[in-house]
Amino acid sequence: MIREISLMTARNPGMERDMEGLQSVQVNRSAAERRAATLATRRTVKKEWQAAWLLRALSCIDLTTLAGDDTPGNVRRLCAKARRPVRDDILKALGVAHLNITVGAVCVYHEMVETAVQALRGSGIPVAAVSTGFPAGLSPFALRVQEIRQSVDAGAEEIDIVISRRHVLQADWNALYDEVAAFRTACGGAHMKTILATGELGTLRNVAKASQVCMMAGADFIKTSTGKESMNATLPVSLVMARCIRDYHERTGYQVGFKPAGGIRTAKQSLDWLVLMKEELGIDWLRPSLFRIGASSLLADIERQLEHHVTGRYAALHHQPMA
């Protein structure tokens, strides 16, 4: 089993903007792609170790519903699954029933925050709200700030904000810094995850610069995608962002979290991202306070794989409770 680690992480206070240093940021795309391609092939996790890693991945999931047909009933059902993500008989067979394993958070639109908070009361599972005109981020600035405050007032402990992609595409890094800093102020005590929408930023160098600016402005997490873009989380993009996090930690001493989102649907994929975090950032980043996976269907496949580990048989995916 992966050893337990302290759950306390000092929040990133941000730093003064350093736009001169930003100009020196470079990314070797070919090298990044080669390195990412080896992550899934150089390391394998089998048998009880795979089960342990899958339980770790499960504990880092932001269990998400961001659909136009969300209802209070759907959200309450999702929250019930968040409380008990794996069947009791499977956890007992694995010898971990006493650990009270839950997902990392439940992520919803603002309209469903109060419902989720009520459904999760007493569980210790935070509610994350997508905000700032998610997913496009093109609503008026004052409304985006107001949306953050309203979600915090409704009980959200985490806010997933989206940046204005035009600031990156126009290389207006001061505007991006000011925007993210304003969002961080509006979050107050709530942790802020900053969504870069990397599939719309054009180049890996833009991804790296945007990552650095958002951390300078006080982001507690940087996140790949909204899940609504045509290209979401990929290993090369995640590698670049993880190395930016490492550079920022070496520079300031503060640990910033990472959240890939969009397209991570299988247990095998979740292991690839855990390997990336361990090899690039170290074991500290294998915990919910510094690593999350934004997903909706991933949990069902993890539960299916854990059932196979216990019984030796694969159940049909539709036999798993809805995640």
51-76 pLDDT, tens digit per residue, is 999 999 999 999 999 999 999 999 99
What's the pLDDT at 3?
35
Identify which of 175, 258, 257 has the alpha carbon closest to the alpha carbon of residue 217: 175
Mean pLDDT value across the chain: 94
Element of type H or E holding 146: helix 141-153
Model pLDDT for residues 157-208, shown as the tens digit of each residue:
999 999 999 999 999 999 999 999 999 999 999 999 999 999 999 999 999 9
Sign for the CA dihedral angle at 228, 230, 234, 239 comes to: negative
The strand ranges marked E within the chain are: 61-64, 105-108, 127-130, 158-162, 191-195, 221-223, 257-259, 293-295
> Cβ atoms within 10 A of the Cβ of 158, count?
23
pTM: 0.94
Give every residue of the chain whose pLDDT is below 50, as ranges.
Answer: 1-7, 323
Helices and strands (DSSP H and E) totals, the chain: 13, 8
Residue pair 195/165 in contact by the 8 Å Cβ criterion: no
**What pLDDT score was predicted for residue 322?**
60
- Catalytic (active-site) positions: 160, 223, 259
What is the pLDDT at residue 42?
Answer: 73
Tokens of 89: 């008989």
The fold of the 21-319 domain, in CATH, is: TIM Barrel (3.20.20)
Q: Give the Cα separation of 275 and 89 in Å (integer).
A: 28
Q: What is the pLDDT of residue 33?
A: 96
